[in-house]
Amino acid sequence: MGILNRFPAVCRRHKFSIKINPIFKRKIFHPPVAIATVVQTWGSAPRPIGSWLAIRGDGQVTGSVSGGCVEDDLIRRVQTEILTRDLPEMVVYGVSQQEAARFGLPCGGTLRLLVEPKPELAVLEAILSSISNHQITSRTVDLSTGKSKLEDGNRNEAFVCNAQLMKTTYGPRWRMVIIGAGQLSLYTADFAIASDFEVIVIDPREEYAEGINREQIQFIKGMPDDVLLEIGVDSHTAVVALTHDPKLDDMALMEALKSPAFYVGALGSRINTQKRKARLLEFDVTQEQVERLQGPVGLFIGALTPPEIAVSILAEVIAVKYGVPIPKKV
């Protein structure tokens, strides 16, 4: 599930990873804003169900529903027609091959959107607040009135849209916590940022702090295990230990393995991974928890250089995120 600098970000299937955008942070919205949600696709579609596009009356947009294929036409329709109405309405693109070709939908794909001309701003602000607190929220829109209600959500809830309502689930942005601020960590952080992860790098060593010169990376100086407890680790968090120093990695891994983190991995050879697992079992960690550890970290792609290893790490994290089975590491 998914999901903080712009609103909304690309949604993951029906799970949303959302960033806050200044459009939605203002108390008074002028010009008005409409929200378009992908509710159904046929054939090849560039955006998954649940993806959002926010369109302001002056043409400013954030998010995407088609990767640029239909946005220009949708903006025109919102500005000239939809914002004059009160209730949500369905908009369909690509019904015929000719129309699909006209709007650039790949392989004759068809796209159905629900457009809300007057979303309740207080509800959107409440969603942002819950996401900022790493909470999962469900929003149900009554299509006959345009009104919506919020309730506690579950990341396994399916996206629903029928003639009566649309129900979507919003969760915090996917987050990667990297232990260590060395060269491999920076490459891994860069690829994670490009993959829309929030990135936190933890390292107690003062000399490494100067190497973190990227605004999008939050660097926290401190002992990794203490910092993990302070920031909290939820089911949208991956923890990757890359210092190769047991004094730093092992204590952090102990806390990460006991947490709901969806992924926990550590740098090291197969032999060192087995030694690390044996050490962890001497602490307050169960066999089941220790077996969650991915090591050596990353998919095997023959990677040798730091950038290549970072690619393998991101590939494995993303595979676990989407429930793709990982080959057993012997």
Query: Where are the chain's structural domains?
Result: 11-171, 175-321
Q: What is the reported pLDDT for 107?
A: 52
The pLDDT of residue 172 is above 80:
no
**Contact present, 57 and 125 (Cβ < 8 Å):** no
Q: What is the reported pLDDT for 134?
A: 77
Least confident of 30-39, 100-109, 278-287, 321-330: 100-109
Comparing CA positions, the residue from 271, 77, 25, 49 lying closest to residue 169 is 49
What percent of the chain is modeled with pLDDT above 90? 43
- pLDDT category at 291 given cuts 50, 70, 90 is very high
Average pLDDT in the chain: 83
Q: What is the reported pLDDT for 305?
A: 95
Q: Between 18 and 187, whose confidence is greater?
A: 187
- pLDDT category at 41 given cuts 50, 70, 90 is confident
Across residues 169-181, what is the average pLDDT? 89
Comparing CA positions, the residue from 253, 261, 195, 265 lying closest to residue 234 is 261
The pLDDT of residue 210 is above 80:
no
> pLDDT digit string (tens) for 245-268?
888 999 999 999 999 999 999 999
What is the sign, positive or negative, of the torsion defined by CA atoms of 264, 269, 272, 278?
positive
Which superfamily does CATH assign the domain made up of 175-321 to?
Answer: NAD(P)-binding Rossmann-like Domain (3.40.50.720)
Q: What is the reported pLDDT for 6?
A: 38
List the Cα angle 273/320/15 in 5-degree steps.
150
Please give the model's pTM, rounded to 2 decimal places.
0.67
Q: What is the reported pLDDT for 236?
A: 86
- Token pair for residue 137? 């929220």
**Contact present, 190 and 176 (Cβ < 8 Å):** no
> pLDDT digit string (tens) for 50-87?
888 888 888 888 888 876 678 888 888 888 888 888 89
Across residues 186-215, what is the average pLDDT? 87
Q: What is the reported pLDDT for 10?
A: 35
The pLDDT of residue 28 is above 70:
no
> pLDDT digit string (tens) for 144-161?
999 999 998 876 678 899
**3-state SS string over the chain?**
CCCCCCCCCCEECCEEECCCCHHHHCCCCCCCEEEEEEEEEECCCCCCCCCEEEEECCCCEEECCCCCCCHHHHHHHHHHCHHHCCCCEEEEECCCHHHHHHHCCHHHCEEEEEEECCCCHHHHHHHHHHHHCCCCEEEEEECCCCCEEEEECCCCCCCEECCCEEEEEEECCCEEEEECCCHHHHHHHHHHHHCCCEEEEECCCHHHHCCCCCCCEEEECCCHHHHHHHHCCCCCEEEEECCCCHHHHHHHHHHHHCCCCCEEEECCCHHHHHHHHHHHHCCCCCHHHHCCCECCCCCCCCCCCHHHHHHHHHHHHHHHHCCCCCCCCC
Beta bridge partners of 266: 241
Comparing CA positions, the residue from 225, 223, 216, 179 lying closest to residue 201 is 179
Comparing CA positions, the residue from 316, 27, 63, 9 lying closest to residue 192 is 316
The pLDDT of residue 102 is above 80:
no
Q: What is the reported pLDDT for 84?
A: 87
- Amino acid of residue 255: E
What percent of the chain is modeled with pLDDT above 70? 83
